[in-house]
Amino acid sequence: MDINAISQVLNALHLPAVFVDHDDRIALCNPEALGLFGAGAVGRHYAAILRQPLIIDAIETVQRGNGATRARYLGTQGPAETVWMASAAPLMAAGQPGVLISFEDRTAAQEADEMRRDFVANVSHELRTPLTALNGFIETLRGAAKDDADARERFLGIMAHEATRMNRLVQDLLSLSRVESEERMRPKARISLSDVLNSAIVSLTPLAEQRGVSVTVEGAADLPIVVGDGDQLRQVFQNLIENAVKYGGDGKSVVVRAGPIARDPSLRSAAVKIDVIDQGIGINPLHIPRLTERFYRVDSHRAREMGGTGLGLAIVKHILNRHRGRLRIESEPGEGSTFSVLLPVNGD
């Protein structure tokens, strides 16, 4: 092929690609590659532009006649680091040997890998804390506290508490994985939201009574029917109302206010909006965008004391995605928070 033909092929590619000639110069750069290496790359020695040992080795390997090869390349242009898989292959240009290198963007795949690793590390960490406590108490009960009936009672109480915490974590992990695996399946049942709200509130009555919190519902009587998964929607409101009770402050009140909306611009359909309103300490706006991340807690010590796993809002977000709904969080530190759920009505 002559150099013009190669240039045309490079320009037709949507991946960044460069051609290194027999003089070790970057002879051609397509527009995507210019974005990656900058406008001054053409005509320079490839090692001056590519700079990373892995990709330089790969090009040398091809030049020595050992066939096509691949190497990882880190993009440092732009605000965030990008990860590329570079493929180097021999290509003759006007009778002279050269090397064609194309770059495939692996950033998203790399990020998914990292998220998986972080998740496993988080889960292990969350389980290790109660396990360490349990082991410590078992040891004490076998040794120092062997014949101390009072200590035994007290330690068994703490052990039961830790075991409950582990159990809750495992339950939440299971529901998260179930919700994720169903996320692409549209729910089909016709659901009465007032039944869903009432059943969520009934299940939280013991917790609310224990904390002296009153939970009242407004406007739930004549809501339109929504298409959804009843168990999952109940879980959404259970998680939100539980948070409002837990973080809303003892002796305060929680209001669940529901109402139809003729047309919501972000859903582009009629909708039902359910606000869960508390009068608690509120949330610093800095934290709000991250609340639905797994294991994210504003005050992790305090949240853990309250038996939180940090997974509740992550589960809420996944369930609402499946229902093509939205979660909005508004909070005034010191005044309280409002978590609003929007669900489409006749959502197609």
Ligand X SMILES: Nc1ncnc2c1ncn2[C@@H]1O[C@H](COP(=O)(O)OP(=O)(O)O)[C@@H](O)[C@H]1O
Positions that interact with ligand X (CB under 6 A) = 239, 243-244, 247-248, 278, 280, 283, 291, 296-299, 303, 308-313, 337
87 binds, among Mg ion, ligand X, none (CB under 5 to 8 A by kind): none
Applying CB under 5 A, the span of 62-70, 123-131, 288-296, 307-315 interacting with Mg ion comes to 307-315
CB 77 within 8 A of CB 99: no
Distance, CA of 289 to CA of 87 (rounded, Å): 38
Residue 333 Cβ, how far from ligand X at the closest point, in Å? 9
∠ CA 185-191-192 to the nearest 5 degrees? 160
146: left (phi over 0), alpha (psi -120 to 50) or beta: alpha
Residue 214 Cβ, how far from ligand X at the closest point, in Å? 15
243 binds Mg ion (CB under 5 A): yes
Q: Which helix (H) or strand (E) holds 290?
A: none
337 binds, among Mg ion, ligand X, none (CB under 5 to 8 A by kind): ligand X
Residue 213 Cβ, how far from ligand X at the closest point, in Å? 12
Distances (CA, A) of 63 to 57, 59, 74, 120: 10, 6, 22, 42
In the complex with Mg ion, the residue whose CB is nearer, 20 or 240, is 240
Applying CB under 5 A, the span of 33-41, 71-79, 111-119, 312-320 interacting with Mg ion comes to 312-320
**230-258 burial by CB neighbour count: b if 16+ within 10 A, else e?**
bebbbbbbbbbbbbbbbbbbeebbbbbbb
Q: Which of these, 135, 193, 202, lies nearest to 163 by C-alpha position?
A: 135
Alpha helices by DSSP H, listed for the chain, are: 3-12, 31-37, 46-50, 53-63, 107-142, 149-181, 193-211, 230-247, 300-305, 312-322
Q: By CB under 5 A, name the one of 130, 280, 312, 344 that touches Mg ion.
A: 312
Residue 67 Cβ, how far from ligand X at the closest point, in Å? 52
291 binds, among Mg ion, ligand X, none (CB under 5 to 8 A by kind): ligand X
235 binds, among Mg ion, ligand X, none (CB under 5 to 8 A by kind): none
Q: Which helix (H) or strand (E) holds 30?
A: none
In the complex with ligand X, the residue whose CB is nearer, 297 or 323, is 297
Q: For Mg ion, how many residues bind (rule: CB under 5 A)?
A: 2
Residue 283 Cβ, how far from ligand X at the closest point, in Å? 5
Residue 254 Cβ, how far from ligand X at the closest point, in Å? 9
CB 256 within 8 A of CB 276: yes
Applying CB under 5 A, the span of 104-112, 122-130, 152-160, 310-318 interacting with Mg ion comes to 310-318
Residue 239 Cβ, how far from Mg ion at the closest point, in Å? 5
Which spans of this chain sit near Mg ion (rule: CB under 5 A)?
A: 243, 312
